[in-house]
Structure 1
Amino acid sequence: MLTPQGLKGKQFRITGTSYPRLGPPPRRGRRWLMLIGSLLALSLIALGGVQLVDIFTGRAKHSAAQACASARASGKPLAAPVAATSTAASPSGSPAAGSAAPGSPGSPAASGAPAAVSSTPLPAVTTAPQPQTVTVNVLNATGKAGLAAKTADELKQRGFTVGKVGNAPSALEGHVPGAAELVAGQTGAGAAALLGAQVTGATTMADARTDGSVDFVIGDGYSALLDPNAAATALAAALKPAPSASPLPGSC
């Protein structure tokens, strides 16, 4: 190997098969970033492990149950109450109309004036009385003559006890757009459900009467009663309780 002049060849001669490699000097900032990243990764792994332990050991469910128990013990509601709305007792489930309805014997509207409709809806029922125990007043709010008497005869053949039969008060004439409007007190909710199953598209209203009678007000949309088999099917559907929604995870 040739050596430049002025240098001692033997002292600076390179021997062997390895050669020195030149690289960038180490940087402290890069080391700190790697250290911080490692610590963050370890923290995330530890947090995930704790959550998995809670899931498999059931600690989360136990904490939610304790929170629900504390809320019940304090007597404070977990959510704001929802205002009740009136619904029909008929199989169609149409909302009750807002017009007034005539009463029956023993009700404030026995004289023929429209009864005051209560803001409280009729309670939901899961059973219905026998037709023989239900007194129904059939009132015609349409311009078709003889419709109340014909409907009353059909209801009587089905076992209902017929009370008053005639025309509806003038305030209701032409103001019942549906098939029928059923008016009952709080004690007549089951009877209203039974009568609502006899016709399609009936709405239900509550008034201040204290007996179990029901006013069957015939509307402009009325054509005929359902046949007995269809009425029985509609009644079974109306009395079937609605399924309750499953609580969401973490809710009481």
Structure 2
Amino acid sequence: MGGKYRITGNRYPRMRKPRRRGRLVFLAAASVAVLGVIGWGTWQLIDVFTGGSKASAASSDCSTKASPTASPSPANAARALPKPGQITVNVLNATPRSGLAKQTADELKKRGFRIGQVGNASEAFDKKVKGAGLLLGPASSLNTSLPVLATQLAGAESRTDTRKGTDVDLIIGTGFKALTRPAAADEALTALTAPQPEATTPKSGC
């Protein structure tokens, strides 16, 4: 060829296709991904056969969450309740049956209670107590004297009023038949003053 495009020398230029850099980048990325998958699979196998870091973490977590030994709580101690001899009971009859207040008062006296007034109930309660009886006392007796007296008459209702002093009333209702049998009453009183069982903490999966 002559003129402007004359070829000189004894070599001819070689015509090659340009390299595709995109293919090289793809191959490199694929290689990295394959190596990553192989490495992850190897790590999982090691974790399965050795227990891995999860077991260590669980063990550490259990050790850090171990609760200390609980100190004795006042709620678990025996309840400090008054003894029958420290409780003065007024026995009042709210039924049409005569002599019932005296009979009940005599039986309570045999069981160690101090007896105060014995007679008929006031108009506010006369023939208006439908159950076995009503135990009535000051607010301070709600968790002291009244629970002790309640062991002697199953099914009796307990209430408080605004009275002064520590005396409590046993108002006999129309549903009254007899006081609780002495053996059962003593058993109920023992259970009332016994220490409360301590709540147990559920075991964890550790």
TM bin (shorter chain):
0.5 to 0.7
Mapped partners of 1:245, 1:146: distance in 2: 48
For residues 189 and 169 of structure 2, the distance between their equivalents in structure 1, rounded to whole angstroms, comes to 18
d(CA) in 2 for partners of 1:242, 1:181: 27
**Distance in 2 separating the partners of 1:195 and 1:240:** 16
Q: Matched residues in 2 for 1:40 and 1:181: separation?
A: 75
1:55–1:38 Cα change, 3 Å: closer
Residue 236 of structure 1 and its aligned partner are, at CA, apart by 0.6
Q: Does 1:239 align with 2:193?
A: yes
Counterpart selection for 2:159 from 205, 208, 212: 205
Counterparts of 1:91-106 in structure 2, within 5 Å, are none
SS at match of 1:194: helix
Name 1:159's counterpart in structure 2: 112
Which structure has greater helix proportion?
2
Identify unmatched segments of 5+ residues in structure 1. Answer: 1-27, 66-124
Which runs of structure 2 are paired with 1:25-104 in the superposition (5 Å)? 35=37, 38=41, 49-57=52-60, 59-60=61-62, 62=64
Q: Judging changes above 3 Å, is the alpha-carbon distance between structure 1 residues 63 and 134 closer, same or farther for their aligned structure 2 residues?
A: closer
Q: What RMSD over aligned residues (CA atoms) do the two structures have, in Å?
A: 3.8
Q: TM-score, normalised by structure 1?
A: 0.49
Inter-partner Cα distance in structure 2 for 1:204 and 1:190: 12
TM-score, normalised on structure 2? 0.58
Distance 1:136 1:158 in 2: 12
Distance in 2, Cα, partners of 1:60 & 1:165: 64
Q: Which residue of 1 aligns with 2:8?
A: none
| Paired residues of 1:183 and 1:204 also in contact (CA < 8 A) | yes
Alignment of 1:98-247 (within 5 A): 126-188=79-141, 189-247=143-201
1:32-64, Cα deviation, whole Å (9 max, x unpaired): 8xx49959967x96xx7434213323x345258
1:60-115 Cα offsets, whole Å, 9 max, x none, are 452586xxxxxxxxxxxxxxxxxxxxxxxxxxxxxxxxxxxxxxxxxxxxxxxxxx
Deviation at 1:223, TM superposition (A): 1.0
Q: C-alpha distance in 1, partners of 2:106/2:80? A: 25
What SS does the corresponding residue of 1:234 show, helix, strand or coil?
Answer: helix
Offset of 1:249 from its aligned partner? 6.0
Provide the rounded CA distance (Å) in 2 between the counterparts of 1:61 and 1:222: 59
* TM-superposition CA deviations, 1:102-140 (whole Å, max 9, x none): xxxxxxxxxxxxxxxxxxxxxxx7244333322111122
- Partner of 2:92: helix, strand, or coil? strand
Supply the AA of the counterpart residue of 2:110.
Q
1:56 counterpart letter in structure 2: S
**In 2: Cα distance, 1:247 partner to 1:178 partner:** 41
Alignment partner, residue 106 of structure 1: none
Give the deviation of 1:174 after TM superposition.
4.1
